[in-house]
Amino acid sequence: MKKAIPILIAVLSGLLVLAALIWQPQLEGWLEVMLNWAVIIASMAALVALATLLLAHTRKIIKVRHGFIYSLILVVAFLVSFAGGMTAGVENPNYLHWIAAIQQPAEASLLGLAALVMAAASLRLFHQRGWSALTVSFGISALVFLMLGLGWLQALQIPQLDIVIGYLEALPLVGMRGLLIGMGLGALLLGFRIVLGLERPYGE
Amino acid sequence: MPVLSLNDLVAIGLCVLALLALGMNLLVHRKHPYLGLRKTSAVRSSEILSQAAAEQGKRLTIGLGLDVADSVTAMASLPMLAALTRRSIFTDQPVHATSGGGTLASLSQSVVRGTYQGAVAPELFKPDYALLAGLSPYAYLAGLLPQAASRANAGIMLYGPHRPESLLAADLAERKRNPVIALTSDLSAQAVLLASSAQLSFGEDYFDGGASLQVNPSAAASLRAQDLLRIVITIGLIAGAVLRLLGVWQ
């Protein structure tokens, strides 16, 4: 019985969402209520996950384990931002400015680092994966789209060349669509397995 | 009853076909569900890595990616997490999972705890085995990087909806001479990770985890149904293109 209840809830919710796609006007109200429940449950799950994270790091600090200083920074940063949000309010412009002033430079530096690592990894590609159809086509397509992205060929304004460029620019979309069809099929069947209770990603 | 467009009818037809193919494969292959099934190279590598980690007394770290609210495909990694956790329960260092969202972190915690209970060893479970790394994509990346650099790692596995910036984690693990396995549902991340030395799987192979590890017969039936549907869609696309070329279908 303990195992059957989550399966039953998952199956009924899945079926209701599927039915609401076809009989939208009739089931719209029910769907809205259910989506509100989902938002509340997701927020609760985020709180539980956050509490578990804090407990894990607090234990690390208490036991003075290797790297406990980072755990200390995490817990202090969490407590300061939590206290700030609770006292000033999460919509307070000063609070938002303060958070953004820390978050945005950190994210921008990570993005810059990621760009550098991507460029270095592209240069190492042939060394790491050797010469194969995949790596050669990867290299050629990177060069071709770099050229197209620079816009020099388009600036020549040759009608026949523009037609070829149009075809070339459509190629990634075609490839992407092919991959997306495969991914869509996988997601569809995974969804069916969850709705039918054949797959239980929410626990054993 | 609303009026359905041609697109709606095609979508409903595909859903019905998918259900029929799934049911048929479950019935036909019920005795030997995994017989003759192809195995994804990245999943095969994860099995080898899991064994190597046990032999070395080290752990396997799994990055589960961003939250289920961002992408439902995050669910696909949980059966794999359960399977790899089950294999590592009684080793020196069990599998560690990190998630990029509250729902996924709670689900992974529930899956790992359930696996320990299923193995009649709930006392061995620690909440640290499935933790939240961050609530935003960059916070997740910042949480994943120290995990990827840990000396306790035998290798890392990126399985879930990762963004291209995850290359940083893959690169860091490579610098520590740890093997990286990547299965991601994000197409840009797949392209970017190709530039790393990660053992990579493309496209729909992302959903093959449960079938390749032989943990769920329905996953095997789903994989066979996927192959069948792909053939049907390919025939449909070619027929549509030919009909349009011939001017039969405008």
Q: What is the pLDDT along chain B (250 residues), one digit of tens a residue?
A: 567 777 878 888 888 999 999 999 999 988 888 888 877 888 888 889 999 999 999 999 999 998 866 566 788 888 889 989 999 999 999 999 999 888 889 889 989 998 999 889 999 999 889 989 888 888 899 889 988 888 899 999 999 899 988 999 999 998 888 999 999 888 888 888 888 888 888 878 888 888 888 888 888 899 899 989 999 999 988 998 899 898 887 6
Pairs of residues, one from chain A and one from chain B, whose beta carbons lie less than 8 Å apart: 181
Sign of CA dihedral B1, B4, B8, B9: positive
Q: Of A204, A185, A14, A197, nearest to B222 (Cα)?
A: A185
Best residue of A15, A68, A190, A194 to probe chain B, by most B CBs closer than 10 Å: A190
List of chain A residues whose C-beta atoms are within 8 Å of the C-beta of residue B216? 198-199
CB-CB: which of A70, A176, A201 is closest to B75?
A: A201
Question: From CA B57, how far away is CA B47, in angstroms rounded?
Answer: 15
A140 touches chain B (CB under 8 A): no
Find residues 79-138 of chain B whose CB sits inside 8 Å of chain A.
79, 82, 99, 101-103, 105-107, 109-111, 113-115, 117-118, 127-128, 131-132, 135, 138
As a whole number, mean pLDDT of residues A31-55 equals 89
Taking contacts as CB-CB distances below 8 angstroms, the residues of chain B near A182 are 203-204, 226, 230
Task: Return the closest-CA partner of residue B128 out of A200, A67, A83, A204.
Answer: A67
Pick B127's closest partner by Cβ from A46, A52, A125.
A52
pLDDT at B23: 92
Decide if A62 touches B, using CB distance below 8 A. Answer: no
Say which amino acid occupies A99. I
DSSP B215: -
Model pTM?
0.85
